Amino acid sequence: MKKLVALLFLTLLVVSCSKDTNDDSDATPTPLEGKWILTNVSCFCDFGNNPDFSGHKITFAGNNLKVENTGVFSFLIDAEGIFTLQDDLITLKNGVQYT
């Protein structure tokens, strides 16, 4: 009888333990999460009077970055993919860093 109870207990223990298939441990939640629209650019460039940067968007989802460039100029070229965030420093997969 003790063996039967022990076997039943072990069976329940094994059945109740399962791997979490929805584990997003690779995705790092960041305060940057969401879609961002470029509103201004700081550089020594001539964009003319009142340039419209609203067609340039970056989306942070977990630790993945997506870039949308529509318009005459392109920003963050080859930046899509995995990024890391440490303090206020964003490091892209190509090694370029932004603060």
Q: Tens-of-pLDDT digits for all 99 residues of the chain?
A: 777 766 766 666 566 655 554 444 455 566 788 888 877 777 767 777 777 777 788 888 888 888 888 777 777 777 788 888 888 888 888 888 887
pLDDT for position 2:
72
- Does the pTM surpass 0.75? The reply is no
- Spatial neighbors of 18 by CB under 8 A, at least 6 apart, are none
Q: Give the residue from 49, 58, 50 showing the smallest Cα distance to 98.
A: 58
Burial label, 67 (beta-carbon count in 10 A; 0-12, 13-18, 19+) = middle
Contact status, residue 83 vs residue 93, Cβ threshold 8 Å? yes
pLDDT for position 18:
52
